[in-house]
Chains A and B, each alone.
Chain A
Amino acid sequence: MRTYLDFEKSIAEIEAKIEELQALAESSDALEMGVELSRLKTKSERMLQDIYAKLDPWQKTAVARHPERPRFRDFVASLVTDFVELSGDRTYGEDPAVLGGLGKFLGRPSVLLGHEKGRTTAERLKHNFGMARPEGYRKAVRLMDMADTFQLPVISFVDTAGAYPGIGAEERGQAEAIARSTERCLTLGVPMVSVITGEGGSGGALAIAAANAVMMLEHAVYSVISPEAGASILFKDSGRAKDMAHAMKITAQDLIGLKVIDSIIKEPLGGAHRAPERAISTVGAAVAQALDGLKDLSPDALRAQRRERFYAIGRLENDAA
């Protein structure tokens, strides 16, 4: 059963009809049905096209959070061979909200990192809905240290509502863990490529996304605070999340203009969740291309490139035009 979003109701109706007809067509051999079926399919496709061509920021947030959207494990399963998952921060514990390990990314030996939200209820609880604690970021630092030592590029997949706000997380230095992880990204002497695949939620996302190349899936969002939390602070009403989503400029299409991201990775029609395999392979190609573009740079050149990249964001001379 597919999960339909609020604004996909019309599509849900047509697709239900299509399914019904398909079931009928199997049992009888009416030619008419075939004609009707293809007519409906064209119609639903056109509707999808229309809806997805003009998703607003709030609708995109819903797509970015879609429960069937590809997750870290899906990307790794399709794009990485010989994956060896590594666990623990060697200090306190293991945080399954941030996963990582070694593997060959489309043949390239790499260090992989990413938030994992999980899919089933049990998984979601286990991964804390992708909201990391300090241990997750310290594990990320540990893995980035390894990447530097063994001269492996780092690829990160970002998908989190934000770092977890809890007593234990505060007690163990959530802020410091995020700061150190961001810093480690920026001091890496090896290439780092990040993809915002779903939700890029604030510092918890940035901590593993301060990369040489930052890409975003077409319907992903990336923001300083979740629209709900932002609305509850600025509007004193979390119900106005939609307004906040609009005001904050959180879509890939907005962020490329601000130079926060370098490129947008196109999603299959109707979002990555409708054709995950296709979405994943597009991501793979884009990451591989970015990595190839960085592979000849020296450690110093890579650090300098990151510095220039982030320093340039929001600078006045860039806005002169």
Chain B
Amino acid sequence: MNWLSNLARPGLKKSKPEEEKRETPDNLWIKCPTTGDLIFRSDLEASNWVTPAGFHMRIGPDTRFRQMFDNGRWTLVPLPKVPTDPLKFRDDKKYSDRLKAYRAKLNRDDCMSAAYGAVNGQRAVLLVQDFDFMGGSLGMAAGEAFITAAQTAVKRKCGMVCFTASGGARMQEGILSLMQMPRTTLAIQELRESRLPYIVVLTDPTTGGVTASYAMLGDVHIAEPGALIGFAGPRVIEQTIRQKLPEGFQRSEYLLDKGMVDMVVDRRQLKDVVSQILSILTPAAAAASAEPENDEAQPQPEAEAKPASRSGAKRAAQDKKKPQQKAAE
């Protein structure tokens, strides 16, 4: 603001502090997006990436699994392969190249990860959508993952919990991404037919075709505090009605007020709330086959734990700067 800060010292390049942080994924201190306070990294990890001010940072599948499953033990559900780039889509980059880059960066085929295990003793399949993978956009891989997760839950006679985080449909897959809306909806019917609970945990952000399908069809809807949840993205609405949107519009608390979610739950209480619901909605099925499958859950190797939390830090640091990707209606 003052003249001093505008003055670039010779030989030194001006750089934005956020960008600097982005390049140091291992940094010890992480800035709270709301207060700007610096938080010790291990403190953040201990509080499941919720800052002292209550801001819920975005987390990926590994961090989520570790938080939700008992003793950090879970079994990954293998997800089916899908055709790559059937439309041969390109914008300024080829979609297949874009995919390759994300796969290399996140060491995962697409945005969904599914795992089976126990949540406070309640067996469940958890499906986690990673916003870092192309904005968590819903394409064929995500749709197929959803179907597989639901069918795994049916096979194992347990509930399914889906953690949503997505800008919406993956436009690079055109109509095939739209078709994931009825496809995932059909998978939910399989759970319903087997009388198995389907719980949705809406995390920041959940918009577009994801909200307009499986995110809004849960038996119970839980939202993490402050998450952006809506059909049309705020930018699209602003452009359509040419009006500034009210404060708090499309945030979790707003959706609670409007009757679209059952509760807004702090991440640190999430495990208890989810297991409570599961225990009431799946008593018969859970009792039927609780024991034999327990030993299938493998402890996750330590090696996997580290990059996961690192990506959590990076994610958190990038949160403010990251453009909202691919909001499709």
A: residues with CB less than 8 A from B are: 162-167, 169-176, 178-180, 182-183, 185-187, 201-204, 206-207, 210, 222-225, 229-230, 233-235, 247-250, 255, 258, 260, 306-307, 310-311, 313-316, 319
Contact = CB atoms under 8 A, between A and B. Distances in A.
Q: Is the interface of A mostly helix, strand, loop or mixed?
A: helix
A311 B186 contact: yes
B171 A234 contact: yes
Nearest to A303: B189
B69 to A, nearest CB: 28
A246 to B, nearest CB: 10
B28 interface: no
Contacts of B91: 234-235, 247
Nearest to A161: B329
Contacts of B177: 224
Contact of A206 (B143, B182, B240): B182
Ranked 10 nearest A-B pairs via Cβ: A165-B232, A175-B211, A175-B231, A174-B231, A176-B216, A248-B174, A178-B212, A224-B178, A179-B216, A234-B91
Contact of A233 (B82, B87, B213, B328): B328
B236 interface: yes
B174 A249 contact: yes
B75 interface: no
Contacts of A176: 216, 260
A172 B327 CA distance: 20
Given A248-B87, A260-B175, A178 B231 contact: yes
23 contacts: A165-B329, A167-B237, A167-B241, A167-B243, A173-B258, A178-B231, A182-B212, A183-B188, A183-B189, A186-B186, A203-B181, A206-B178, A210-B182, A224-B169, A224-B177, A224-B209, A225-B169, A233-B328, A234-B172, A258-B176, A306-B186, A310-B179, A314-B140
Interface of B: 80-83, 86-87, 89-92, 140, 143-144, 147, 169, 171-179, 181-183, 185-186, 188-189, 208-209, 211-217, 230-232, 236-237, 240-241, 243, 245-246, 249-250, 258-260, 326-329
A307 B187 CA distance: 9
A229 B249 CA distance: 22
A188 B250 CA distance: 31
Contacts of A315: 82, 144
Given A179-B185, A316-B83, 13 more contacts: A166-B237, A169-B231, A170-B249, A179-B181, A179-B215, A182-B182, A224-B174, A225-B329, A234-B326, A247-B174, A258-B86, A310-B182, A314-B82
A58 to B, nearest CB: 15
B217 A180 contact: yes
Most chain B CB atoms below 10 A, which of A187, A233, A310: A233
A204 B181 contact: no
A235 B171 CA distance: 12
Contacts of A225: 169, 171, 328-329
A262 B183 CA distance: 17
Contacts of A313: 176, 179, 183
Contacts of B240: 164-166
